[in-house]
Amino acid sequence: MWRLLTRAGIDPAPRRAGCSWRQFLSAQAEGVLACDCFHVDTVLLKRLYVLFVVELATRRVHVLGVTANPTGLWVTQQARDLLMNLADRIDQFSFLVRDRDTKFTNAFDAVFASEGMRILRTPVRAPRANAYAERWVGTARRELLDRVLIMGRRHLQRALSGYVAHYNGHRPHRSLGQAPPLGTVVARAPADVVRVARRDRLGGLIHEYAHVAYVEGFSAPTRSRRGGRRPAAAGLGILMATNGIRVAAQHGGTKRSLPEAFERLGLRFTPNWLDIWGGVQTKVIEALGVLRAIVDAKRAQGQRS
């Protein structure tokens, strides 16, 4: 082929002499935003759509909104809200990377173009061209959505807000030197001097650990008499909650006795329904796993006979 092009006097394509798409994103990461949209199916068989934006340089994630009907007007309004939230930082961004979804209308592009940003559309059926956004979708599914039974839009919004707060403020990133997007790496200290504290997020699904001297809002992990770690308050299961209410009823059934009943069970009382739901769904998933194992065992016995 090269000989044929040379004989015909055709020079190589200009793009062969320029930088690749990966090199461009690495060189311009400080001024690039990547946006995308993914869906989440609820327990009630309803599909919700999540719109988000990722800052390439810091890996900071902005969840713009959750809706069951992502129209062009809704997406455009979320773009306006993003520019208002970025405020003075919008001047540092020059490019917006997005796919060719029909939800991203000309009005959506005009919102970013009004701030001097250039819209970069990825090729057709090329998810790797928007790899940063696709990578975050996979991370959110593995660490949150595949482990949580979503009931509705408000439940999904609250779960995502808690996970994004963990992702931006605490979760380490290798590309950032094990630092979170909005934080710095704390210098190591001798183990006999610093005490480690833990904070539970999303009903105990995610645990954050930090030095007590550096971060507030963390509680030190406690241990039971048997030497094992006590269940966190956010990780209440349905069985634990039932036992706590039963013990509370024996003490008069008032709200004041509920914390005492939970404390007798080695737990801490929490009125947060989302945290209790996180424990309930954990027990449901465990029960489904047990039932599946029983069914598989019955099938294996039937095949042998």
Interatomic CA distance for residues 221 and 218, integer angstroms: 9
Among the listed residues 57, 13, 45, the one whose alpha carbon sits nearest the alpha carbon of residue 181: 57
Is residue 188's pLDDT more than 70? no
pLDDT tops 60 at residue 220: no
Q: From the CB of residue 36, how many other CB atoms can be counted at a distance below 10 Å?
A: 22
Cα 115 from Cα 285, distance rounded (Å): 47
Average pLDDT over the chain reads 78
Contact call for residues 137 and 128 (beta carbons, < 8 A)? no
Domains of the chain: 18-176 (3.30.420.10), 196-300 (no CATH)
Q: Is 121 helix (H, G, I), strand (E, B) or coil?
A: strand
Global confidence as pTM? 0.66
Whether 28 contacts 95, CB under 8 Å = yes
User: 149 and 43 in contact (C-beta within 8 Å)?
Assistant: yes
- CA-to-CA distance for 210 and 128, rounded, in angstroms? 35
Q: What is the pLDDT of residue 4?
A: 79
pLDDT band at 13 (very low <50, low <70, confident <90, very high): low
